[in-house]
Amino acid sequence: MIYTIIALVLLVADQVVKYLVRTGIDLGQSIPFIPHLLDLTFVRNTGAAFSMLEEHTWILILISAVVVVVVAVLTARKVFQGWLGLTAAMLVMCGGIGNLIDRVVLGYVTDMFQTTFMNFAVFNLADCYITVGVVLLFIYVLFFYPEPQKKEVDPHADCDLPGDGT
């Protein structure tokens, strides 16, 4: 239940920040946010990271929806366990839903964080959730995913061997 509450808070934060950027910053305008590190720049992204698949929003909607559903089903089936697995799944789902809302409602994703110390794609909170979630998911799968339980097999359990006469 706590993961659901956290996911809802993160999702609301993502949508509120995007709304504030759309209503408070002109398209393409940059405002210093963290000097020499990060600006707020309103960008309408019709593609994925670095504008890949630009103008193919329907493909990104389909991919996002499938990823969110798959992660939700795997979570419900308890594939992701413990705080690390559940946090990773929650972040990936939350970020996917945040960007999915934008794509379905607006036809584009609202991006706003632009690094000023290097040339990098403009991104948003949902992108941060997805990135951190995927990194945590890799760590979880590589180091903490429980190994399948091996059944102890009695080699003589189902054998009908002839008795020794005793």
Q: Residue 74 and residue 51: Cα distance in Å, rounded?
A: 29
Measured CA distances, 125 to 51, 155, 162 (Å): 17, 55, 70
Q: How many residues does the chain have?
A: 166
Residues with a known catalytic role: 111, 127
Rg over alpha carbons for the chain, rounded to the nearest Å, is: 23
